[in-house]
Amino acid sequence: MTIKPKPIIWTISGSDCSGGAGIAADIKTGHALGVEVCHLITANTVQNSQQLLSVNAVSVEILQQQATLLIDDKPPSVIKIGLVANVEQVHWLAKLLKQFKVIMPNLISVYDPVGQASVGGSFSCLSLEQLTPLLMIVDVITPNLMEAKILARVDKLAKLAEANDVEVLAKKIYQDFAINSIIIKGGHSHADDKHARDYCYHQLNQLSDEKQDNQEKLHQTISYQLNSPRLATHYSHGGGCSFASALASFLAQGYLMRDAFMLSKAFINQGLAATVPVSASQKHQYYGAFEQQAWPLNGSDRAQHFAEVVDDLSGQYQELPAFSSLDLNGEILGLYPVIDSLYWLKRLLPLGLKIIQLRVKNLTENELEQVIIAAVALAKNYGTRLFINDYWQLAIKHGAYGVHIGQEDLADADLVAIQRSGIRLGISTHGCYEFILAQQLQPSYLAIGAIFPTKTKDMTGQIQGLDNLRQVLSLRPAENAWQIPVVAIGGINLERAIDVVATGVESIAVVTAITEAEQSHGITPEQAVAAFEQIIVKG
Ligand SMILES: Cc1ncc(COP(=O)(O)OP(=O)(O)O)c(N)n1
Ligand SMILES: Cc1nc(C(=O)O)sc1CCOP(=O)(O)O
Ligand SMILES: [Mg+2]
């Protein structure tokens, strides 16, 4: 087995001598998820699974010595903060993070506010005012509902109803402390006992989530809930710490905030699910340590640990029936050329493709309509499934086989009109969050990209690699059930196609590997199509 260098996270938190929570949970979680964990202990607590006896703070001098010694040796990409024992530690941490952000502008800090022990008792008596210097500098915060109410100063909220509204709480916290991402965990305290709903209010762009040059999105916020069945287990000691350190670990591996959140919740669900049988078999309610299971989980039950996404889009289209299928009759979709003109359409259609996409970016509305009319007629002659990129109204109007829609256009497109028209729908996704959300809409196919860096489109920060491709493929319903066809796109050429096909993906979409085959491989586009088809058939 080849050992790759691991991302490094630091956890600055308390030690739980019973091994369930705090530093122990952070180390077990980081190791399960493949990151290296440096740990700076803020307090040595005396506790077991039943009670907390004392919290013995470590001096800031010792903490500073540890930070100084580690910073050049093992610099972190993410710092996770848990128990902060006293005011001195708050000021020390705020100063440390401020200094680190100057020398490491991409450093992310995740603060899991630890006030009350789940076994009863208080870890610290810090007031909100005392915690403010730290709150003003962290990037991500992961309170539970009770902690969120304290952070949002619930007593100052106008109406009592607002006190339980996670969106109101998160906005208030964002307003007061300018924290980029606020995740309110629903694990312990939600009124609906059948579900564990975790809520995220998140400002785009701050954690390199979207491209910095996209001015429109610069200060856009998104909010959504991740919803999964509540799991009946008493093995949850340290679950909150493990969630925050999982988030830190996935962020350190370069995942976007929404994907890191989705994966962290799946990691927690996986651990809780593993202990349901042992918990049920016990006569007395033994409060066991959260179980960090190996990751990634292989096997057919993997998808069940991933939560459903609840947001405006999923709410709006909750009742929408599935989109028309690709009528593949058991065949795989295969090669999917994406081209930008009638010239390419005329050249490639005679090759007997099952699917092709017209992706035009530089024509006027009128020119475009004429091209689409001609393209639909041409594709019908050859019996090839023609998808029109972006222009769903024209695709419906002129009876194209389908339309392909990107994430940017999803909220503005009328999915009801597309579904009722009977034309097929393909949706772009870039990571497990978008994949799960789009899968809930039951489109005709899902695309995932960019698998590799590509010069055709700026996909900075959204390169998936083969591991993420495998991961999203496993998020479809279990084997034997109907599975949505998946198309891999982005930077795929003849050399890389072999590995892509080996993941089991149904289709490979390519632009330049065909249109620039002469320049890159000294072969004609027709030869490139034949070579791809051979790889797909063999795969
Ligand atoms: C098969 C396939 N996958 C992804 C895309 C990208 O679509 P989108 O996100 O809408 O970006 P643009 O292509 O419009 O730049 C695609 N076209 N086809
Ligand atoms: C148009 C497009 N969409 C992508 C996505 O990931 O959504 S990647 C991409 C570019 C594909 O071009 P090539 O095959 O030349 O790399
Ligand atoms: Mg598009």
Residue range 337-361, pLDDT digits in tens: 999 999 999 999 999 999 999 999 9
- Pocket flag, ligand 1, residue 357 (CB < 6 Å): yes
Q: How far is the CA of 208 from the centre of ligand 2 (A)?
A: 20
Q: How far is the CA of 511 from the centre of ligand 2 (A)?
A: 7
List the beta bridge partners of residue 358.
Answer: 339, 388
pLDDT at 408: 87
- Pocket flag, ligand 2, residue 27 (CB < 6 Å): no
Q: How far is the CA of 427 from the centre of ligand 3 (A)?
A: 9
Ligand 1 pocket: which of 389, 405, 507, 510 to mutate (most atoms <8 Å of CB)? 389
List the beta bridge partners of residue 356.
Answer: 386
For residue 489, give the ligand 1 atom closest to its CA.
Answer: 3
Amino acid residing at 32: A
User: pLDDT confidence of 375, banded at 50, 70, 90?
Assistant: very high
Domains of the chain: 8-199+225-310 (3.40.1190.20), 334-538 (3.20.20.70)
pLDDT at 215: 44
For residue 509, give the ligand 1 atom closest to its CA.
Answer: 1
CA 412, CA 404: separation in Å to the nearest integer?
Answer: 13
- Pocket flag, ligand 2, residue 11 (CB < 6 Å): no
Radius of gyration (C-alpha) of the chain in whole angstroms:
25
The verdict on ipTM greater than 0.95 is: yes
Q: Are 466 and 425 in contact (CB under 8 A)?
A: no
The token pair that represents 267 in the structure block:
């990691």
The answer to whether 217 is a known ligand-binding residue is no
User: pLDDT confidence of 488, banded at 50, 70, 90?
Assistant: very high
The answer to whether 46 is a known ligand-binding residue is no
- Pocket flag, ligand 1, residue 434 (CB < 6 Å): no
pLDDT at 214: 45
Q: Beta 78-81 vs 108-111: how paired, if at all?
A: parallel
Amino acid residing at 225: Q
pLDDT at 401: 98
Q: How far is the CA of 350 from the centre of ligand 1 (A)?
A: 24
Backbone angles phi, psi at 203, to 5 degrees: -90, 125
- Pocket flag, ligand 2, residue 446 (CB < 6 Å): no
Angle, vertex CA 116, rays to CA 112 and CA 118, nearest 5? 95
pLDDT at 481: 67
pLDDT tens readout for residues 499-511:
999 999 999 999 9
pLDDT tens readout for residues 192-231:
578 889 999 998 764 444 434 444 445 688 999 999 999 9
Ligand 1 pocket: which of 404, 445, 462 to mutate (most atoms <8 Å of CB)? 404
Q: How far is the CA of 311 from the centre of ligand 1 (A)?
A: 22
The token pair that represents 512 in the structure block:
């330049």
The answer to whether 297 is a known ligand-binding residue is no
Whether 119 shows a pLDDT value over 70: the answer reads: no
pLDDT at 208: 46
Collapsed DSSP state (helix, strand, coil) of residue 85:
coil
Q: Are 314 and 437 in contact (CB under 8 A)?
A: yes
User: pLDDT confidence of 330, banded at 50, 70, 90?
Assistant: confident
- Pocket flag, ligand 1, residue 464 (CB < 6 Å): no
pLDDT tens readout for residues 81-104:
999 999 999 999 999 999 999 999
Q: What is the mean pLDDT of the chain?
A: 91
Amino acid residing at 535: I
pLDDT at 213: 43
Q: What mean pLDDT comes out for the span 420-441?
A: 97
Please tell me what DSSP assigns to residue 231: P
The answer to whether 390 is a known ligand-binding residue is yes
- Pocket flag, ligand 1, residue 390 (CB < 6 Å): yes
The answer to whether 491 is a known ligand-binding residue is yes
SS3 content of the chain, % helix, strand, coil (to 5): 40, 20, 40
- Pocket flag, ligand 2, residue 459 (CB < 6 Å): yes
- Pocket flag, ligand 1, residue 457 (CB < 6 Å): yes
The answer to whether 204 is a known ligand-binding residue is no
Lowest mean pLDDT among 73-77, 184-188, 353-357: 184-188
Q: Beta 221-229 vs 308-310: how paired, if at all?
A: antiparallel
Give DSSP secondary structure letters for 447-503.
EE--SS--SSS--TT---HHHHHHHHHTTSSPTTS----EEEESS--HHHHHHHHHT
User: pLDDT confidence of 479, banded at 50, 70, 90?
Assistant: low
Lowest mean pLDDT among 9-23, 42-56, 125-139, 153-167: 153-167
Q: What mean pLDDT comes out for the span 314-334?
A: 94
For residue 491, give the ligand 2 atom closest to its CA.
Answer: 16
Check residues 45 and 539 and name the one with the higher pLDDT. 45
pLDDT at 191: 52
Q: How far is the CA of 418 from the centre of ligand 3 (A)?
A: 15
Q: Which helix (H) or strand (E) holds 408?
A: helix 407-410
For residue 429, give the ligand 2 atom closest to its CA.
Answer: 7
The answer to whether 159 is a known ligand-binding residue is no
Q: How far is the CA of 391 from the centre of ligand 3 (A)?
A: 8
| Residues of the chain above pLDDT 90, percent | 78
Nearest residue to 427 via CA among 450, 451, 403: 403
The answer to whether 193 is a known ligand-binding residue is no
End-to-end CA, the chain: 24
Q: Are 485 and 447 in contact (CB under 8 A)?
A: no
Q: How far is the CA of 409 from the centre of ligand 3 (A)?
A: 7
- Pocket flag, ligand 2, residue 38 (CB < 6 Å): no
Ligand 2 pocket: which of 336, 338, 427, 514 to mutate (most atoms <8 Å of CB)? 338
The token pair that represents 55 in the structure block:
């919290």
